């Protein structure tokens, strides 16, 4: 795909470095990783084909997801359609001997990139993120190694994930950063503490992962009591018995607001994220073709500003119950924190 092309017919376009993409992409993590038992390879492939048919252009994966199996999945399914898509992946956090390891050393980044290219069955990755800041390695060294990948023609544009405005500025001074992928949703407002504005100032796209609050703002929110062992949400305070009932009560009010406006709750949640700036791109994930189409339908909606403002008041930094990560995980995250919400 050339830098000037990447469009779905009738889709609202936003800039992602050298690319123009629809404002809603597809996060592919849950097809292989983190949320219980993944779908079968056939089911996962079906979802990816449905995304292509629906006009999705931005597909997002990482070396970590399924410890390489997610990149392999995208390589198998999307390689024949390579010129139609913008393909994003991540380095700096991988699976080693069955464990998640953060490693931003230049030699590791180079090795991870070569493995990703092979798994993705492509000669170049359109957007390559540093998945997490390795606090043992200056970000300048990590981004310097990634810049070498651009020079070598293995990567087209660079990104960062889960970092602060200060780290973004340091990285951007080494090599232009096309995208910052941070968690952003009605119940996770950390970007409003600095990165939302910094990204706008620097011409960086803010790619909002988990814009539907890890399934909480979908039509059928998860029931923590029946989540399978290993589901990432079981370790998140907002889904614990101490906090989840209070969050569900707020969700009920949001659902009523959405219905009054003639919207589904996911449509309202995604519209709110996209309203935060023309540089914001939403990256929801799903295993359902129907939910995929519902997510994409937000691109054709015009939601009144008053409805969006009311949603942001109902659920936000000062109303959500529980932090987004447990205390043991917070040191790994470089983003600004929202008070007690982490």
Asked if 130 and 90 count as a contact pair (C-beta separation under 8 A), the reply is yes
Catalytically annotated residue among 35, 65, 128, 129: 65
- Per the annotation, the verdict on 65 as an active-site residue is yes
Q: Please answer whether residues 148 and 176 qualify as being in contact, where contact means their C-beta atoms are separated by less than 8 angstroms.
A: no
Q: Residue 103 has which token pair?
A: 């490693």
CA–CA distance, 16 with 19 (Å, rounded to integer): 5
- In degrees, rounded to 5, the angle at the alpha carbon of residue 89 between the alpha carbons of residues 159 and 333 is 60
Residue 172 to residue 159: CA distance in whole angstroms:
10
Identify which of 54, 14, 13, 295 has the alpha carbon closest to the alpha carbon of residue 179. Answer: 14
CA distances from 4 to 1, 40, 46, 103 (A): 8, 35, 28, 33
- Beta-bridged to residue 161, according to DSSP, are 181
How is 196-213 classified by DSSP, letter by letter? HHHHHHHT-EEEEESTTG
> CA 217 to CA 265: how far, in whole Å?
6
What positions carry a catalytic annotation? Answer: 65
């Amino acid at each position: 795909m050339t830098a000037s092309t990447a469009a779905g017919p009738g889709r609202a376009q936003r800039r992602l470095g050298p690319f123009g993409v629809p404002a809603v992409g597809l996060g592919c993590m849950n097809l292989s990783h983190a949320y219980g038992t993944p779908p079968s390879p056939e089911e996962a492939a079906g979802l990816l084909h449905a995304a292509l048919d629906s006009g999705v252009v931005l597909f997002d994966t990482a070396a970590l997801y399924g410890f390489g199996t997610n990149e392999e999945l995208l390589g198998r399914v999307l390689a024949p359609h390579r010129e139609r898509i913008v393909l994003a992946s991540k380095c700096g956090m991988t699976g080693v001997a069955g464990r998640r390891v953060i490693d931003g050393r230049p030699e590791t980044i180079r090795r991870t990139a070569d493995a990703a290219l092979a798994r993705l069955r492509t000669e170049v990755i359109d957007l390559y993120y540093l998945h997490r800041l390795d606090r043992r390695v200056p970000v300048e060294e990590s981004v310097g190694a990634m810049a070498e990948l651009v020079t070598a023609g293995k990567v087209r544009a660079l990104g960062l994930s889960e970092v602060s405005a200060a780290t973004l500025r340091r990285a951007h001074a080494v090599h232009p950063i096309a995208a910052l992928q941070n968690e952003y949703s009605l119940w996770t407002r950390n970007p409003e503490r600095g990165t939302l504005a910094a990204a706008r100032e620097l011409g960086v796209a803010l790619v909002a992962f988990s814009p539907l609050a890890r399934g909480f703002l979908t039509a059928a929110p998860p029931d923590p009591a029946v989540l399978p062992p290993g589901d990432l949400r079981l370790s998140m305070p907002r889904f614990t018995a101490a906090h989840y009932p209070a969050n569900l009560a707020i969700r009920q009010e949001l659902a009523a607001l959405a219905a009054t406006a003639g919207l589904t709750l996911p449509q309202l949640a995604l519209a709110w994220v996209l309203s935060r700036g023309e540089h914001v791109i939403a990256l929801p994930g799903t295993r359902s073709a129907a939910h995929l189409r519902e997510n994409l339908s937000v691109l054709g909606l015009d939601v009144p500003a008053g409805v969006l403002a009311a949603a942001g008041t109902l659920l936000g930094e000062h109303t959500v119950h529980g932090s987004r990560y447990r205390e043991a995980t917070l040191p790994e995250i470089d983003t600004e924190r929202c008070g007690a919400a982490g």
